Every structure is written in C-alpha cells, then in structure tokens.
Amino acid sequence: MTIMPELELREVDATNWREVATVEPREDQRGFVATVPYYLALCHYGGIWNPVGLYEGDRVVGFAMWGVEKEDDSRWIGGLTIDQRHQGKGYGRAAVERLIAFLRDEPGCSGIALSFPPENEAARRLYASLGFLETG
C-alpha cells in the first residue's frame, strides 16, 4: 500500500516566493512546463492566475496556479510542477487531488479543467486516473 503525501497549498506571497521559485522539473519535463519564475510573473502581471506553493510540512515540493474561467465559472489548474528532487513520490497525484478539493470549495465553481501537451503521456495517465476527460 502506498501512503500519499499530505500536501498543503500555500498562497505565494512576499514571504515565500523565493523558495517557491527554486522549484524545477526534471530535464525531460522542461518541454512540458515553463519555469516557475515565468509562472510567477504570469500570476503577478496577468491578472488571471493565482499561485500556490505545494508544501509537505515546511518543505516546498512543487508549484501550481489556478484561475477562474469567466464564461462559465469553471476553475483551471495550470503550471503544475513538482520539483525534480521530489519526483516519483506521489506528489503529483497528491497535488492534483488537493487542488481539486480546494477548487471545489470555491464559491460558484461549476467544474474543474486543465490542459497538457498531448505528448505528455504521464500527465494523460494521471489526469485520466483522477477522472478528467479529454476534450481535445
């Protein structure tokens, strides 16, 4: 039996952005995600995305951002990155499960969506196993 990590979502702010910005994917994943500093800039200047650090205890293990689709009030998960030092330990699944639980509790949430490059088979399998349906 695999024990899933307990992850906490923490808003990225002036107190923790530097440690969150150090999150880096594995080399073979860099074509699928942008750098966390780039995502943080999108969150700060784009007016759409909300950044969260993914923490296990006091240790940052990843990053994600979420936003609201104004047309239908659905929530979007974007920029999910698990640090290369913490890969293969269940953090990706735990992060998506934690994000789903958090976003479902958002007032007015009509659904949850995400996207991934079609060649990212690991993401495809993970998201399908969590109930996401591909729409093209």
Q: Which residues belong to the active site?
A: 127
Assign 3-state DSSP to the chain and report helix, strand, coil percentages, each to 5: 30, 25, 40
Q: In the chain, at which residue ranges do the beta strands (DSSP E only) sit?
A: 8-11, 49-56, 59-69, 74-82, 112-114
Give the helix/strand (H/E) hosting 95.
helix 91-104
